[in-house]
């Protein structure tokens, strides 16, 4: 039986398969919540109304609601009816291309995969008031086509912000605002071959989708090993460019050592090479001051890439490239061909958000929260899984947990999935062979604050019980 009904004006399509009406209704509602078709906070119809709509007994609906309530999907409160619980969102970011989500992950209630900050901590009120102020203050011409590099207001504010917080040496006319690092990299893939880049050195553990983007544009990768001092650079011979994550290697978490930073700058200046500095989570450093951007050592050779995906939310699709003079025009042209420019509305809002001090305040607040989570992760593993060694924790939003003797990534991932926890193994990030010991890459920033304790407890249980 296929039924549809309207919730708060939203048509929801439910398929009630088979004869077991109650089980069918539960499954259909669960599926709708898992896929996000029924969003957290959505008010469900009363059991009487839904029963009438579906032509089934009211008791059947009431029992299905009660069961889903017991499972944590729904909350019922006197006077405000039954709603989809705020924790019911399985807004899992899609897995990196090429990585299959482990079985059961779609139903995971607790997401500890790397790649996302706590989305429930997004400063909605602050963002809204920045948007209101930005839009009411913007002249009408700001709403028309604009400079492909981005709004001058934002580039001016970003230049100051990046200089102040990351030590980047930049003038506003060298910035191209883009849709996150993803688009920044895509633009560079178009431009680099024109300046003689055919081979690009990349860290041999990294984002598969980044490697795929490079390969798709015909750039041949040269693999660099990674150790406790970050990327090992001496294998970069023959490459005209390097893509590095100096502040916090992704995913292993090491920080590029001072000597290698100097080596990288010397290599670029000496050979005319280019370095793409992917500073995806550089705002998050816990034990001391953040290491400044590598870009400052060789601004005419380093393309600095930043993003709000970790500080605010990936969904904003806002990022920036800081470019050497010789690339700025070509990248701006590629951006113009790609999508004219990034939405002026979002750019002006971010401008206001940074200018008002709200961005700094937000980053400070979440940095503190993530630091506490990191400390709790380390403490929990030390107490309950002493065979596990945690590394890469000085910065960023994820840690690497090296598993103990005899433990396998797939087993722990499956054990975690059975407990409703989505987790990833290091193997999914090996761009050539997975030559390291078995390990998990734990995104401790991902769950909402109130879900972290449970997520951590279940993760620890999954590791301990293997
Ligand atoms: C290594 C790395 N760089 C950059 C990003 C950010 O990409 P974007 O700015 O397109 O959201 C991520 C996000 O997961 C990442 O893992």
Q: With a 6 A CB cut-off, is 309 part of the ligand 1 pocket?
A: yes
Separation of 327 CA from ligand 1 center, angstroms?
Answer: 22
Query: Tell me: the pLDDT tens digits for 394-446?
Result: 999 999 999 998 999 999 999 999 999 999 999 999 999 999 999 999 999 99
> Would the CB of 181 count as within 6 Å of ligand 1?
yes
* Helix ranges, 18-114 (H): 21-34, 47-54, 58-70
CB distance 184 to ligand 1 below 6 Å: no
Query: How many angstroms separate the CA atoms of 322 and 145, rounded?
Result: 22
Between CA 336 and CA 345, with CA 339 as vertex, the angle to 5 degrees is: 105
Q: Token pair of 421, please?
A: 């926890």
Taking CA atoms only, the protein residue closest to ligand 1 atom 5 is 280
Pocket test for ligand 1, best of 96, 254, 280 (most atoms within 8 A of CB): 280
**Which atom of ligand 1 sits closest to the CA of residue 179?**
10
275: left (phi over 0), alpha (psi -120 to 50) or beta: beta
Neighbours of 37 (CB within 10 A): 15
> Counting atoms of ligand 1 from 1, which one is nearest the CA of 278?
3
Q: Is the dihedral of CA 80, 83, 87, 93 positive or negative?
A: negative
| Ligand 1 contact, 180 CB (< 6 A) | yes
Q: How many CB atoms lie within 10 A of CB 112?
A: 25
Taking only the tens place, the pLDDT of each residue in 235-290 is 888 899 999 999 999 999 999 999 999 999 999 999 999 999 999 999 999 987 77
Q: Looking at the CA of residue 184, tell me the nearest atom of ligand 1.
A: 10
How much distance in Å is there from the Cα of 400 to the middle of ligand 1? Answer: 17
Q: What is the pLDDT of residue 17?
A: 65
**Distance from the CA of 181 to the center of ligand 1, in angstroms?**
6
Compute the C-alpha angle 126/128/132, nearest 5°.
120
For the chain, which ranges sit under pLDDT 70? 1-13, 17-18, 88-108
| pLDDT more than 70, % of the chain | 92
Asked whether 290 and 256 are in contact (CB, 8 A), the reply is: no
Exposure string for 239-275, b = 16+ CB within 10 A, e = fewer: bbbbbbbbbbbbbbbbbbbeebbeebbebbeeeebbb
pLDDT at position 33 is 83
Q: How far is the CA of 245 from the centre of ligand 1 (A)?
A: 10
Question: How many CA atoms are closer than 13 Å to the CA of 132, on its beta-carbon side?
Answer: 6
H/E run at residue 327: helix 325-339
Q: In this predicted structure, what is the pLDDT of residue 5?
A: 58
114 C-beta neighbours (distance < 10 Å), count: 27
What was the pLDDT predicted at 56? 86
What is the whole-number distance in angstroms between the Cα of residue 305 and the centre of ligand 1? 10
**pLDDT recorded at residue 91:** 43
Amino acid 275: pLDDT: 98
Tokens (6 digits) for 186: 């895509």
Ligand 1 atom closest to the Cα of residue 245 is 1
**What pTM was estimated for this model as a whole?**
0.79
Nearest CA to ligand 1 atom 16: 115
> In sequence order, which ranges of 138-251 are alpha helices (DSSP H)?
152-166, 180-191, 208-216
Residue nearest atom 2 of ligand 1, based on CA coordinates = 280
Contact call for residues 275 and 302 (beta carbons, < 8 A): yes
Shortest-distance atom of ligand 1 to CA 116: 14
Tokens 């409703």 sit on residue:
420
């Amino acid at each position: 039986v296929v039924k549809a009904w309207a919730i708060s004006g939203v048509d929801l399509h439910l398929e009630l398969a088979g004869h077991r009406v109650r089980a069918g209704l539960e499954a259909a509602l669960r599926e709708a919540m898992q896929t996000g078709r029924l969003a957290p906070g959505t008010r469900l119809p009363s059991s009487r109304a839904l029963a009438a709509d579906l032509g089934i007994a009211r008791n059947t609906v009431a029992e299905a609601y009660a069961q889903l309530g017991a499972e944590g999907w729904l909350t019922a409160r006197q006077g405000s009816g039954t709603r989809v619980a705020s924790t019911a969102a399985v807004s899992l970011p899609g897995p990196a291309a090429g990585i299959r989500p482990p079985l059961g992950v779609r139903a995971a209630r607790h997401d500890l995969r790397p790649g996302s900050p706590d989305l429930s901590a997004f400063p909605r009120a602050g963002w809204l008031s920045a948007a209101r102020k930005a839009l009411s203050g913007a002249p009408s011409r700001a709403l028309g086509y604009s400079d492909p590099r981005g709004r001058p207001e934002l580039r001016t504010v970003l230049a100051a912000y990046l200089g102040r917080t990351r030590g980047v040496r930049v003038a506003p006319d060298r910035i191209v605002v883009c849709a996150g690092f993803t688009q920044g990299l895509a633009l560079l893939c178009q431009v680099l071959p024109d300046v003689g880049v055919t081979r690009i050195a990349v860290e041999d553990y990294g984002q598969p989708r980044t490697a795929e983007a490079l390969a798709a544009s015909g750039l041949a990768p040269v693999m660099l090993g990674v150790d406790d001092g970050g990327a090992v650079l001496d294998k970069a011979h023959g490459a005209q460019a390097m893509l590095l994550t100096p502040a916090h290697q992704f995913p292993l978490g090491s920080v590029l050592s001072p000597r290698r930073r100097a080596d990288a700058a010397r290599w670029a200046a000496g050979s005319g090479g280019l370095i793409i500095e992917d500073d995806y989570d550089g705002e998050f450093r816990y034990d001391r001051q953040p290491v400044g951007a590598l870009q400052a050592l060789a601004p005419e050779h380093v393309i600095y890439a930043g993003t709000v995906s970790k500080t605010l939310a990936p969904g904003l699709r806002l990022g920036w490239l800081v470019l050497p003079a010789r690339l700025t025009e070509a990248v701006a042209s590629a951006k113009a061909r790609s999508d004219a420019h990034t939405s002026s509305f979002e750019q002006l809002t971010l401008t206001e958000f940074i200018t008002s001090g709200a961005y700094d305040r937000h980053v400070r607040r979440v940095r503190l929260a993530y630091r506490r989570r990191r400390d709790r992760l380390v403490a929990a593993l030390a107490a309950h899984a002493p065979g596990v060694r945690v590394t890469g924790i000085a910065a960023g939003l994820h840690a690497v947990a090296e598993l103990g003797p005899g433990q396998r990534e797939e087993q722990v991932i499956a054990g975690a999935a059975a407990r409703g926890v989505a987790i990833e193994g290091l193997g999914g990030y090996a761009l050539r062979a997975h030559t390291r010991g078995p390990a998990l890459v734990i995104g401790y920033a991902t769950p909402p604050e109130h879900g972290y304790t449970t997520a951590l407890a279940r993760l620890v249980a999954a590791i301990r019980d293997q």
